[in-house]
Amino acid sequence: MYVDPEYVAAADASSARVAPGSADAARIAVARHFPTAVWLDRLAAIDGAKASGGAMGLAGHLDAALAQQRAQGGSALAPVTVMIVVYDLPDRDCAALASNGELSSAANGLQIYKTQYIDRIAEVLGRNEYAGLRVVTVIEPDSYPNMVTNLSTPACATVNQNHVYRDGLRYAMAKFAPLSNVHMYLDIAHSGWLGWDNNRSAAVAAYRDLVAGATPGGDLSIIRGFATNTANYTPLDEPFFDGNDNIVSTAGTTQFYEWNRAVDELSYIDKLRSDLLAAGFAPGTGFIVDTGRNGWGGTNRPQAAAADVDDMRIDRRAHRGNWCNVKNTGIGERPRANPDATRPYLHAYVFIKPPGASDGTSDSTATVPNAEGKRFDPKCGSDNVDALQGAPHAGQWFHDQFLMLLRNAYPPLN
């Protein structure tokens, strides 16, 4: 898996802020080697601004991946996987405020998305010099899940009525499908969002319609699968219980699960797998799970079953819907392919959201979108008991969060 030099540089900048020889310095020395995804969250990210001292562009990252491939390959070049996040739909993030993006459908955003964003990404990925790389595209986090559950939000209702997300996603799939080395994963939220039976059923039906409409023949196999838990904190597994009624009932010892029997990401993908096959998706359809912030280690991690669910759940959030720079969290399982022999449809653990990348600013005065369409969301504010304060805008490096994630890693960093 490709190690992003910009992530390494950010980790090194954090290393310079801690005491040499300290435990934090040792942790960062390990963490700087993690493979992470590259986020193309605006038009300018495609070209980057490396020549003027700014960020790398897409071709720059692919060139760096080729260099890593050559350095590791010797006489036979081993495959290298580069993961990119396609994230610039018009009216993006319609149910939140932290990262609404630069494009508006009211200002010709969908056409710009198609011609100046997707077309340009596809052109770069399709260049002959990159044919030996494996490119995993994580397509538009949080987009289509909003079309399943959040249509009561006026902005989402407008997006749905105008088919903005649907048409943009179908266009992206159709453009990437002919590229044989590009593997598409559609974002499908997480267990705390779509895990309820009715939400999951509606989601599977919606995604079937979405994917079938991307090609004239309705080919559901054009995608490799789905990405779950992107930029979220839901544990892979709650080791001391499952989703039985005595756990999820609102009349029990907790209100946390609210009758959602998908209490963790593994149970969620197990249920999704059955539903997707029944809906006609190909047997090879699988999942990648973002484990960059769902380890939940540290001294507060429960060690045994308990009478009260709140005393034995790994997920320590006050509410399962809290998503912004969550306190007391840690890095989870390290990125690797085929991590679970009992689940061949679990393709990989990955770090889609790089550890240390902020979810949104905690500055309540930042109510006007910046040049990247990012602003304050109350979920990131001091009124949210789970939100770590002192946070910069979404996507920017958050040193305090990075150290917290490393200190609370589970399994622990060695």
For residue range 15-44, what is the model confidence (pLDDT) as tens digits?
999 999 999 999 999 999 999 999 999 999
Q: Looking at residue 191, what is its pLDDT?
A: 98
**Does residue 252 fall inside a structural domain?**
no
**Does residue 104 fall inside a structural domain?**
yes
Residue 141 pLDDT exceeds 70: yes
When the pLDDT of each residue in the chain is averaged and rounded to a whole number, the result is 96
**Does residue 91 fall inside a structural domain?**
yes
| Catalytic residue ranges | 142, 359
Q: Looking at residue 131, what is its pLDDT?
A: 95
Residue 51 pLDDT exceeds 90: no
- Based on its alpha-carbon atoms, the radius of gyration of the chain, rounded to whole angstroms, reads 20
**Does residue 264 fall inside a structural domain?**
no
Q: Looking at residue 99, what is its pLDDT?
A: 84
Instruction: Tell if the pTM clears 0.75, that is, is over it.
Output: yes
Per DSSP, what are the bridge partners of residue 138? 85, 185
Q: 390 in the Ramachandran plot: left (φ > 0), alpha (ψ -120 to 50) or beta? A: left
Q: Looking at residue 74, what is its pLDDT?
A: 64
Q: Is the peptide bond preceding residue 239 cis, with omega within 30 degrees of 0?
A: no
**Does residue 265 fall inside a structural domain?**
no
Q: Looking at residue 78, what is its pLDDT?
A: 82
Q: What is the number of domains present in the chain?
A: 1
Residue 76 pLDDT exceeds 80: no
pLDDT band at residue 117 under the 50/70/90 scheme: very high
What proportion of the chain, given as a percentage, has pLDDT over 90? 93
What proportion of the chain, given as a percentage, has pLDDT over 70? 100
pLDDT band at residue 380 under the 50/70/90 scheme: very high
**Does residue 269 fall inside a structural domain?**
no
Residue 75 pLDDT exceeds 70: no
DSSP E strands, 117-247 = 134-139, 182-187, 225-228
CATH number for the domain spanning 26: value is: 3.20.20.40
More confident residue, 179 or 50: 179
* Other CB atoms within 10 A of residue 42 CB: 18
Q: Looking at residue 292, what is its pLDDT?
A: 98
pLDDT band at residue 100 under the 50/70/90 scheme: confident
Phi, psi of 182 (to 5 degrees): -105, 125
**Does residue 280 fall inside a structural domain?**
no
Residue 198 pLDDT exceeds 70: yes
- Expressed as residue numbers, the domain containing 187 is 5-237+287-302+321-407
User: The tokens of 221 are what?
Assistant: 């196999």
CA–CA distances in Å: residue 357 to residues 18, 26, 94: 18, 20, 21
Q: Looking at residue 12, what is its pLDDT?
A: 98
Q: Are 157 and 194 within 8 A, CB to CB?
A: no
**Does residue 263 fall inside a structural domain?**
no
